[in-house]
A and B are shown apart, each in its own frame.
Chain A
Amino acid sequence: MNKVQIDEILNKVNGIKITHKRKTRIRVDVDADSLPTLLELIKGRASYIHLSAITCVDWIADNQFELVYHVWSYEEKCLISAHTRIDRGSEKNPAKYISVYDLFKPADFFERDIFEMYGVTFIGSPRMEKFILTEWNGVPPMLKDFDAEAYVQETFKWTDYNPDWLQELTDQGGGIAVKPEDIRTAGNTHNMSTHRERDKAKAAAVKANDKMQGWKQ
């Protein structure tokens, strides 16, 4: 199957944008509605039977989640990455999408992973329950508006670090020459100043953290 033939099959999907990145990589962008059709099409017509991964990307600025389905064909030796964007939803009305479990069995794992890491519910996925984060009660942690660092600073008092044995070493003239907190503050000003929306995100994260005070139940 050459480039033309695969394009022909792909073009059956409405509003598709095909990018041939290199010989073994094709990027396609489709609407959320036509993605299942596309997957069914390339699985049935072009032997793309190996679902390599499903990735979710949180485009918080656009208020959208990008779902990327990486599908490989053992015969064509080519990987199609199907990109689609869905609405990011809100806390009350979380994002929803349709499951592709009936097409690809491994979608069970990836969709469950996205469910707990991003909070996207996949309709029709067999096990929409927690798997890795069974003992985590906060917001889905991979969301961009969850600031892990702020959360850590608040939960773990790990920087005031004075164990007995360290004190003994310090008494003998050894120990930690530069305190971790000094390094941290220095590092912050130097390295992280380039982050575009650092302050904005930080503020949002603190807000989110305030909301989820009740996670330690």
Chain B
Amino acid sequence: MNALHLMAELIFMPLIAFIVGMMMVLMMRKISARLQRRIGPPFFQPLYDIVKLYGKDTQISHGLIHDIGIIMAVGGYIGAEILLPVPGMEGIAAKGGVITLSYFLMIPSLGMALGVGQCANPNGSIGISRALTAMLAYDIPFILVVFGAAWHYQSTSLIGMIEYQQVHQWGIVEMPLLAIAGLFALQGMLGKQPFEIYIAPAEIATGPMVEMSGKYMGGLFVMQTFQLYTAGVLYASLFLGGGTSFLTLLPKAFLVVALPMSIAFMFPRYKTEDVIRILWKWPVMLGLISLAFIL
């Protein structure tokens, strides 16, 4: 890998993630609009929102950690995108592997938690406490899924996993139960209903976002695009055979994101303990059964 190639990857991998992520946000909002018998936002709406938020004339900060929290939240995802291989660009996926990636995905949460913490707003703190609890809930099935996949493909590197699936069959065919468990975990990871406890506007006024204005809010919007993209591409790489080109990868990723979204708007949110209960019951059970087959 020459330096120039690497530089290009460092720039383009997050950029592609951002652009695709914005389309996923648009898709999400369009799906919700259709279910609610509406038209929904125009095509460039996610971009308008982000530019508008970054273009705010004034914004408040509760201190340096508030700023750093947002930097960590966005930066953590930018780092994670480089660990997530896409067709033609592998980034440094060979140096980290899927365990490192799953740890990287916790850094934005921690960053946001720090930033929100300094806002000194209990709504935000409750939101973070719920978000971390939700992380505890969905990470258990998620890590089982990662374990199963890594064991099955005999590799912790996503490149290796994709190669295996390209040669053999897709993961979803070989490990259907694990794939279903993965979808559950995905729903929790995206924080959509019924696992939407940490935003909960009617209870804690959007929780972590309560004191976010201007570019701070913009950072969180950017983070959401990355989040959707990462979830979609990661799941597609683990179970849907990744892709040899963007033309084959992206439809899978969109499909993966569309599935949780279409059920999300049909449900209220669970309480925190029910989230843990549900996520530790069904997906973990499915994952363990599946692991019993794999091992």
A and B touch in the complex (CB under 8 A): no
B interface residues, Cβ below 8 angstroms from A = none
